[in-house]
Amino acid sequence: MSEKLDLSKFEKKMVIRQIEERDIDDIIQLQAQCFPNMIPWKKSQLESHLDHFSEGQFCAEFEGEIIGSCSSLLINFDEYDDRHTWDDITDNGYITNHNPAGYNLYGIEVMVHPKFRRMKIGHRLYEARKDLARRLNLKSIIIGGRIPNYHKFSEEMSPRDYVNEVMLHNIYDPVLSFQLLNGFTLMRINPDYLPDDKASKKYATLMEWNNIDYQPNTKMYFKTSFPVRICVVQYMMKQINSFEEFAKQCEYYTDVASDAGSDFAVFPEIFTTQLMSFLEEKVPSQAIQKLTEYTEDYIELFTDLAVKYNINIIGGSHVVAEEGRIYNIAYLFRRDGTIEKQYKIHITPNERKWWGVSAGDTVKVFDTDCGKIAIQICYDIEFPELARIATDAGAKIIFTPFCTEDRQGYLRVRYCAQARAVENQIYTVIAGTVGNLPQTENMDVQYGQSAIFAPSDFEFARDGIVGQCNPNIEMVIIGDVDLEILRRQRQSGTVRQLKDRRKDLYSIHYKNK
């Protein structure tokens, strides 16, 4: 009797899955095989796809080899010009215009290795897109399709005539014929869609697949605003006698912010150094060590306040001892009781000299119920690379707790925060300390004027200032920012700094992803 047949040696594994960062080099090589006469993806573009919409990027893996891939993003198609180009719809291939609330999936690339065609790889990738559209309840899938055989007929017929002949099955086009078989219908023909697509004579067919399971969501169609209310605390540094006194002041301001219906309450940088006013230690390096002993009390206080008053709190910053080092850390206390933290990345000479503060090394962007935000502590806002990295990761608001002792230092923070708002088309918020602690070395004088800044364009606040405190007095400022206006202005503002970046000339490479 013969031995039982081992079927495993006959098996071949085909997988359609989401693209991962380890696949990027293989996909760049695949594109060179599929489109040898076209400019291939840059690594930074594919990294950006994963950063902004990883679930919309698929690949086909056969026996451990990537043989096909497709890329896409979400948009509200009605917001784009009918005659848009591939660069317009993809932000030059970086999809930083991806809109998580969009109701159209826009496909920007499908490719299959020439050796593996006629294995229905493209069909499998299209089905993965359709499944995604159904799962996300999207209205449709839209693609700008090449017509790569058109160059053979361009002297005898117009693009419209060529497309009609393909639709009548009198001419075969490897892309358009495939799209029609997969249920896509023609919307229009766009000229100058892909400048390097010589085979299509730069034309593309705009095609759409309608999701028959789509359930309209009225809010998606008629969302006119996304207001976020921010309360900035300009905190007075003065002598206190206990942590309980400090906690009472913090609760008072949180209550004020909550009563005003604020989504965020923002406290200044290292305002917990007020606790040093009742510590007996006068040597700065030793006093800062004693201050770190209040870390758990500080975290418990603001966690409780965020939940009790139903408000997200940017808890200024606090010095923390970790593994034998001192860090300046800003905490986000969400109203659901969860906590995040951002280490200060750039340390001033003063912090090093007096307290021995160490630098953090990660730029973080945090999800909140009011969109994505970032925190950049004081000196960090003076380094434009950090804000650009945070913006590219989706941040719409950057909060900057600060502590400065003179007007010159304050203006550095202010001017840079305003510049970041303009160049990144985001909102920035600065919250500072005022007053003085005469008995506390290195914290004896403060200078500040807290404010909320917007980009500079017609739909935003005059002079780009949503609101600002009077300088050097204890008070709060409450202002509303609108994330929907921000989104619209990024698409159609007087200037569009994010869309108009020359990524073909320059880029920022963030090493610590």
Separation of alpha carbons 467 and 463, rounded Å: 10
158 three-class SS: coil
What is the Cα–Cα distance from 91 to 502, expressed in whole angstroms?
A: 11
Determine which one of 130, 202, 341, 344 is catalytic.
Answer: 344
Residues in the chain: 513
Q: Decide if 513 is catalytic.
A: no
Residue 343's nearest CA partner among 321, 367, 376, 389 is 376
In this structure, are strands 318-322 and 227-237 parallel, antiparallel, or unpaired? unpaired
Pairing of β 325-333 and β 357-358: parallel
Task: Determine the 3-state secondary structure of 490 from DSSP.
Answer: helix
**Residue 194 to residue 268: CA distance in whole angstroms:** 49
Q: Sort 151 into a burial class: Cβ within 10 Å, 0-12 / 13-18 / 19+.
A: middle
Q: Give φ, ψ of 115 to 5 degrees.
A: -70, -20
Cβ-Cβ contacts under 8 Å for 450 (sequence gap 6 or more): 232, 233, 234, 266, 268, 430, 431, 432, 468, 469, 477
Residue written as tokens 């990761």?
Answer: 393
Active site residue 269: yes
Residues 6+ apart with CB under 8 A from 325: 358
Q: Which of 208, 269, 351, 382 is catalytic?
A: 269
137 conformational bin, left if phi > 0, alpha if psi -120 to 50, beta if neither: left
CA atoms within 13 A on the CB side of 504: 7
**Across the strands, what pairs with 435?**
237
Answer yes or no: are the C-beta atoms of 357 and 351 closer than 8 Å. Answer: yes
What is the DSSP-derived secondary structure letter of residue 26?
Answer: H
The amino acid present at 100, given as its one-letter code, is: P
Alpha helices in 279-406 (DSSP H): 284-291, 295-308, 349-355, 384-392
Q: Provide φ and ψ at 371, rounded to 5°.
A: 90, -175
Cβ distance 330 to 341 under 8 Å?
yes
Alpha-carbon dihedral sign for residues 376, 382, 385, 388: positive
Examine the residue annotation and report whether 459 is marked as an active-site residue of this protein.
no
Q: Closest Cα to residue 69, out of 25, 36, 135? A: 25
Catalytic residue (choose from 70, 231, 378, 416):
378
- Non-local (6+) Cβ contacts of 312 within 8 A are 263, 264, 265, 306, 332, 333, 334, 335, 368, 369, 370
On the CB side of 40, CA atoms within 13 Å amount to 15
Q: Can you tell me which residue has the tokens 């209205």?
A: 139
* Structural tokens at position 510: 């963030």
The catalytic residue positions are 269, 344, 378
